């Protein structure tokens, strides 16, 4: 039996994940009280049925019972259940926006002095810290569309695919905040900024003119070469250690020119290396 334990922040995309997993042949249970996880596995094991791929969503909606999550995981290990933990996250602004758009109430509002969405999210993050640390997979859905999320889940859990490192490449602007979820962050503000060239100011790092300007400097060419060598050395080590997903981020001032060019460049390079790769630009359209 394979069991996938899905948890994470309210509003971070767990229900959308369930839909994708069902399409992949998982038997899915949403909002299962945490204390019933081991009982569910025990019943399933005794039944000897054909449901061998199970995905269970459990989170703070279960109230006080969620605190028993580690005891339940220990019981699964005693039963010989092969389980993995998938944790969903998103930044606070994205979560608040989603709750506002759906007009749903956060499950912790009204409990222990939580009377607004900010306090509820803060309390939930604290409650989930320990299980996030134990997670095998973490997906931040802050800038993922529904189709991108489904594609990411398929890459992680489709049995037909080869076991390979999945690399997410991001660009961002430091003036809009750091990107805490990245495994590797590279600051390319050391390079000349196209923003100060009038005809390039409102173009992006995806466009030929901007790329040619950035690449016209010997420092850029040398930095790209050194980073290529670094990635050729590092990424196989991550694969060897069993890491399944890696997030590489490039940051510049506004997240529209240099970081975008570097993200697009290494998106193509990582594909050449043979990895599963996606690219996202967090702050690109905040500049135009």
pLDDT digits (tens, 9 = 90+) for 100-119: 888 888 988 887 777 889 99
Phi-psi domain of 136 (left: phi exceeds 0; alpha: psi -120 through 50; beta: other): alpha
Measured between alpha carbons, how far is 121 from 91 in angstroms, rounded to an integer?
10
Note the Cα 91 to chain centre separation in Å. Answer: 11
How many CB atoms are closer than 10 A to CB 270? 23
Alpha carbon of 116 to those of 59, 61, 100, 146, 181: distances in Å?
A: 19, 17, 12, 27, 25
Give the mean pLDDT of the chain: 89
Detail the DSSP E strand segments found in the chain. 2-8, 27-29, 53-57, 82-89, 137-140, 166-173, 184-187, 245-252, 276-281
What was the pLDDT predicted at 285?
Answer: 85
Residue 163 has pLDDT above 60, yes or no: no
Residue 142 has pLDDT above 50, yes or no: yes
**Choice among 69-73, 149-153, 217-221 with the minimum mean pLDDT:** 149-153
pLDDT bin (cut points 50, 70, 90) of residue 162 is very low
What was the pLDDT predicted at 160?
Answer: 44
SS3 46: helix
pLDDT bin (cut points 50, 70, 90) of residue 212 is very high
Domains of the chain and any CATH numbers = 2-157 (3.40.50.300), 166-286 (no CATH)
Measured between alpha carbons, how far is 280 from 104 in angstroms, rounded to an integer?
28
What was the pLDDT predicted at 164?
Answer: 65
What was the pLDDT predicted at 204?
Answer: 95
Measured between alpha carbons, how far is 121 from 126 in angstroms, rounded to an integer?
9
Does the predicted TM-score (pTM) go above 0.95? no
Q: Exposed/middle/buried for 102, CB within 10 Å: 0-12, 13-18, 19+?
A: exposed
């Amino acid at each position: 039996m394979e069991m996938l334990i899905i948890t994470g922040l309210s509003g971070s995309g767990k229900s959308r994940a369930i839909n994708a997993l069902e399409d992949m042949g998982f038997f899915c249970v949403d909002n299962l009280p945490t204390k019933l996880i081991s009982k569910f596995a025990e019943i399933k094991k005794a039944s000897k049925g054909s449901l061998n791929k199970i995905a269970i969503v459990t989170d703070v909606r279960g109230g006080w019972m969620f605190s028993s999550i580690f005891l339940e995981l220990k019981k699964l290990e005693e039963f010989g259940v092969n389980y993995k933990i998938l944790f969903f996250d998103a930044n606070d602004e994205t979560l608040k926006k989603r709750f506002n758009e759906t007009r749903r109430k956060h499950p912790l509002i009204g409990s222990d002095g939580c009377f607004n969405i900010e306090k509820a999210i803060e309390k939930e993050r604290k409650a989930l810290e320990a299980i996030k640390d134990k997670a095998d997979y973490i997906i931040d859905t802050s800038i993922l569309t529904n189709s991108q999320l489904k594609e990411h889940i398929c890459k992680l859990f489709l049995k037909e695919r080869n076991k390979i490192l999945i690399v997410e490449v991001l660009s961002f602007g430091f003036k809009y905040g750091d990107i805490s979820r990245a495994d590797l962050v590279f600051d390319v503000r050391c390079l000349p900024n196209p923003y100060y060239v009038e005809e390039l100011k409102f173009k992006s790092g995806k466009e030929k003119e901007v790329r040619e300007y950035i690449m016209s400097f010997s420092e850029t060419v040398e930095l790209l070469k050194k980073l290529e060598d670094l990635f050729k050395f590092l990424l196989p080590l991550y694969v060897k250690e069993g890491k399944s997903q890696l997030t590489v981020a490039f940051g510049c001032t506004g997240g529209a020119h240099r970081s975008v060019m570097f993200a697009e460049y290494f998106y193509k390079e990582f594909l050449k290396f043979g990895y599963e790769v996606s690219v996202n630009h967090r702050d690109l359209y905040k500049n135009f």
